[in-house]
Structure 1
Amino acid sequence: MGLIRLLIVLALVYTAWVLWRRWQAAQTSRRNSAPPPRAPRMVRCAQCQLHLPENLALRQDDKWYCCSEHRDVEQRH
């Protein structure tokens, strides 16, 4: 009976060790993972109403434009 108990205890210790290692690996991967990228802010062209990312738009007097031609048309009005 002593050998069976020893084998059961060893199996339980091994199972606990494996589960603990998996948990540690999961914690490490969560800490190392980068946050998801944010979607760029969208703005609307004051001339043609096209929506485009803010980093690609041109800004003039608190208005956004998709290209320099549309910005210049608005400036002439």
Structure 2
Amino acid sequence: MGLIKLFILLVLAYIAFVFWRQFKAAQAEKHRTPPQQPPRMVRCAQCQLHLPEDMALRQDDKWYCCSEHRDVDQQY
């Protein structure tokens, strides 16, 4: 009789362990942040430097890395 109780206890412990692992995996999945997209890169029309679009200056259809390059290109 004692062996049957031990077997039932082990099965219940295994079932509890499996449910606990699934619960923890679901929690980790919920708190995972989605992968971020890399920033779009543009090229300076003057010096050909590549930089992120949010750091570049745009004039007409051209991108510039700084106001000096934008101003030099506007003179020509």
Same-fold call, TM cutoff 0.5: yes
Q: TM-score, normalised by structure 1?
A: 0.91
Deviation of the 1:36 alpha carbon? 2.1
Structure 1 runs of 4+ aligned residues shifted over 3 Å read none
Other structure's SS at 2:42 match: strand
Instruction: For residues 12-62 of structure 1, give each alpha carbon's deviation from its aligned partner in whole angstroms, at most 9, with x where no partner exists.
Output: 111110121111111111011111222111100011100001111000101
1:40 paired residue number? 39
Other structure's SS at 1:22 match: helix
Between the aligned residues of both structures, percent identity stands at 51
2:25 is equivalent to residue 26 of structure 1? yes
2:72 paired residue number? 73
- Give the root-mean-square deviation of aligned CA atoms: 0.9
Q: Which moved more, 1:47-56 or 1:35-44?
A: 35-44
1:51 paired residue number? 50
